[in-house]
């Protein structure tokens, strides 16, 4: 059986700067993977390459074994890939509800619609008529996740969920993730907060300067190894 997602030997450049060096990653259906790493490790670049905002200069991205490296981002959404981007990127002039509806613009059929997203995030429901520009960070993040869910993705990519949010808000948002996974969505979460990452994921992959330096099941991996890999310390 093919993995849901496989990233094979991918190089990605930003101009002259190479951000990913022959990176590999596989993700089976139903699995939750946390990608961790310091600032500038290449995590956002990796997610944007999977979602189609960036193109690999070498290597291939496959969904169900089919190469999608040259498929435009908007088509990948219809194929089942949704990204909650770093910085949330809520559409400022649209209301919260309009943001969610745009998320479902070309999505697949499935369990997620306005009602189920509002049930998942009551805090979003309370803000549904408010303009995106006037949301707190936590409201933005919950709206951004809801917006991605509206496409009923098979693979949900979450970039820096907890960045800049108060701990209670982070807890509330992470508390919703098991319900997402329970409805059959495979989740790839990028996170700088190690505890959150290890708490939510089945498996952890740690990046350093565009390469994988550590990979393993979240339950058995030792915090010392993760910390060492994270900062690039040699044994």
- By the 8 A CB rule, do 158 and 188 touch? yes
As to burial, measured by CB atoms within 10 angstroms (0-12 exposed, 13-18 middle, 19+ buried), residue 112 is buried
Of the candidates 119, 127, 77, 137, which has an alpha carbon nearest to the alpha carbon of residue 98?
127
* Residue 55 in the binding site for another protein (CB under 8 A): no
Which residue among 8, 91, 172, 225 contacts another protein (CB under 8 A)? 91
Judged by beta carbon distances under 5 to 8 A according to partner kind, the member of Mg ion, ligand ADP, another protein, none in contact with residue 83 is another protein
Least Å distance between CB 208 and another protein? 27
- Other beta carbons within 10 Å of 91: 16
Long-range contacts of 20-26 (CB under 8 A, 24+ apart): 20/45, 20/46, 20/49, 20/56, 20/210, 21/209, 21/210, 21/211, 22/58, 22/59, 22/211, 23/59, 23/207, 23/210, 23/211, 23/212, 24/212, 25/205, 25/212
Which residue among 31, 60, 64, 98 contacts another protein (CB under 8 A)? 98
Where does this chain touch another protein (CB under 8 A) — which range of 8-16, 73-81, 120-128, 203-211? 73-81
Residue 149 tokens read as: 């869910």
The number of residues that bind ligand ADP (CB under 6 A) is 12
Judged by beta carbon distances under 5 to 8 A according to partner kind, the member of Mg ion, ligand ADP, another protein, none in contact with residue 19 is ligand ADP
- Other beta carbons within 10 Å of 96: 27
Tell me whether residue 112 or residue 230 sits nearer to ligand ADP (CB atom).
230
* Residue 51 in the binding site for another protein (CB under 8 A): yes
Residues between 129 and 188 that touch another protein (CB under 8 A) = 131-133, 147, 151
Sheet containing strand 17-27, edge to edge, reads 17-27, 5-14, 58-63, 66-67
* Residue 127 in the binding site for ligand ADP (CB under 6 A): no
Which residue among 4, 82, 201, 208 contacts another protein (CB under 8 A)? 82
> CA angle, corner 135, sides to 195 and 117, nearest 5?
70
Tell me whether residue 122 or residue 232 sits nearer to ligand ADP (CB atom).
232
* Residue 212 in the binding site for ligand ADP (CB under 6 A): no
Give the list of residues 6+ apart from residue 227 with CB closer than 8 angstroms, or none: 194, 233
Residues 25-64, one symbol each (x = binds ligand ADP by CB under 6 A, - = not), give ------------x-xxxxxxx-------------------
Strand partners, 212: 207
Which residue among 3, 18, 28, 53 contacts another protein (CB under 8 A)? 53
In three-state secondary structure terms, 197 is helix
The binding site for ligand ADP (CB under 6 A) comprises 14-15, 17, 19, 37, 39-45
The binding site for another protein (CB under 8 A) comprises 51-53, 72-75, 77-78, 82-83, 85, 89, 91-94, 98-99, 101-103, 105-107, 131-133, 147, 151
């Amino acid at each position: 059986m093919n993995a849901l997602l496989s990233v094979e030997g991918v190089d990605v450049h930003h101009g002259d700067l190479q951000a990913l060096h022959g990176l590999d990653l596989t993700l089976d259906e139903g699995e939750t993977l946390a990608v961790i790493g310091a600032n500038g490790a290449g995590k956002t670049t990796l997610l944007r390459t999977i979602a189609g905002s960036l193109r690999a200069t070498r290597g291939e991205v496959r969904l169900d074994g089919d190469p999608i490296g040259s498929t435009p981002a908007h088509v990948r959404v219809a194929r089942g890939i949704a990204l909650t981007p770093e910085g949330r990127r809520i559409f400022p002039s649209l209301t919260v509800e309009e943001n969610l509806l745009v998320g479902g613009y070309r999505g697949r059929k499935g369990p997620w619609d306005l009602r189920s997203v509002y049930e998942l995030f009551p805090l979003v429901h309370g803000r549904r008529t408010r303009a995106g520009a006037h949301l707190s960070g936590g409201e933005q993040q919950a709206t951004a996740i809801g917006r991605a869910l509206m496409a009923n993705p098979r693979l949900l990519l979450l970039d820096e969920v907890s960045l800049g949010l108060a701990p209670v808000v982070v807890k509330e948002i992470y508390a919703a993730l098991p319900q997402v996974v329970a409805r059959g969505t495979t989740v790839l979460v990028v996170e700088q907060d190690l505890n959150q990452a290890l708490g939510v994921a089945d498996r952890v992959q740690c990046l350093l300067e565009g390469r994988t330096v550590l990979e393993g099941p979240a339950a058995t991996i030792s915090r010392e190894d993760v910390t060492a890999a994270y900062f690039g310390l040699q044994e």
